[in-house]
Amino acid sequence: MDNKIRKELNQIEIPQELRERILLGVEQAKAEMTPLTNKKSRSFGKKVTYFSGIAVLLCGLFIGSAFVSPKMEALASKIPYLNLIFHSKSVGEEIYEQLERKGYKLSSSGIGYNPKKTVSVVLDMKDQEFKKAKPDVEKIVKDILKTRGYDAFSIEISKYVPRQDYVPSEEEKKEMNLLNREVTKKLKQLNYQFDHVQTDPTEPTIFINITGSKNYYNAVKEDVEKAALETVSANHYKGYKINVTRVNARVVPADKGSQITGPLAEGLMSKKEFKVIGVAYKSKPLTFIIRTSVQSSDPKVKELGKKLDQMIVEFLNSKEISSILKNEPYEIIVKSKDNKKIN
């Protein structure tokens, strides 16, 4: 095993059993070392990855834990940053779980990147409880972000306010039920393919969802609108708009890109130094698209593009991600704010 890593581990005060597990992980990882080269038509030389055994163990200590010493942080830094993210819980999960363990009743919590990078926590509490809890909740969130080195987020702690749903009057219910029934009957008589008729007399609008192909939808849309308006008029109602849509809900299995872009986005967008404002991908051909906030005229833009490119290549060529990609070629495109390629 690397004597330097062993020496550093021996200097960190952690339980003996855990130290032995980490040492064993490093030994196993070194035995599995595999040279990896970039899948694109260029080479950064052989990428040797021996952190696979130690990464999961260190993530439990470093990212997402209260145990963060300078020595452990230095040791964890030997593992590529994006791979630490890949092996850990998402920051949103960790925030939610820690707050629940502390006994806080959450309505919701989440991470938002647009229009600004925000950690949002909504507490389901009475006024006085909320005022008392807010500073502690904010501190917990700040500590989690600091542990991970995430400095790009603002924090919003708010109190849950129950939504007051509109309750239609008896007259509105009567109108809604009648038009739902009559428009449905008319469309069935005309043999249109649809799965949804919903009247909202407060807008007033009738929503109709067409099933079938896009060509079918385009062919019948105007006729469906006309039939619905005629039905409304025949029942002595006026002023209705008809909203004909084609929304098909279907379950799409997770593809390679979706498995990779989660940790990639969190890792790149959570630190100010990377200046990343968007991470996306397309499947065919597999392409990872990174948007930055830097203009192409910035003298350091190429340096940033190269740095991000190399980080992502290192991540994609690691043993864990290579097992997902299975030798599929990929491309990385890093863009400036004005949409120029900078890598």
Q: List the domain boundaries for the chain.
A: 3-87, 91-159, 170-245, 256-335
- How far apart, in Å, are the Cα atoms of 292 and each of 204, 281, 299, 302, 333? 43, 15, 14, 12, 11
Quick one: pLDDT at residue 193? 95
CA distance 59 to 152: 21
CATH label, 256-335, candidates 3.30.300, 1.10.3470, 1.10.10, 1.10.260: 3.30.300
Fold designation for 170-245: GMP Synthetase; Chain A, domain 3 (3.30.300)
* pTM beyond 0.75, yes or no: no
Do the first three CATH levels of 91-159 and 256-335 match, i.e. the same topology? yes
Segments in the chain below pLDDT 70: 1-78, 249-253
Give the pLDDT score at 304: 97
Residue 205 pairs in a beta bridge with 200, 241
The tokens of 203 are what?
Answer: 């807008």
Q: Which DSSP symbol is given to 312?
A: H
Structure confidence at residue 8 (pLDDT): 56
Q: What pLDDT is stored for residue 296 in this prediction?
A: 96
DSSP 341: B
Token duo for residue 313 = 């290549």
Instruction: Extract the tokens encoding 238.
Output: 């006026």
CATH 3.30.300 at 91-159, yes or no: yes
pLDDT at 165: 82
Neighbouring C-beta atoms of residue 26, cutoff 10 Å: 22
Integer Rg of the chain from CA:
27
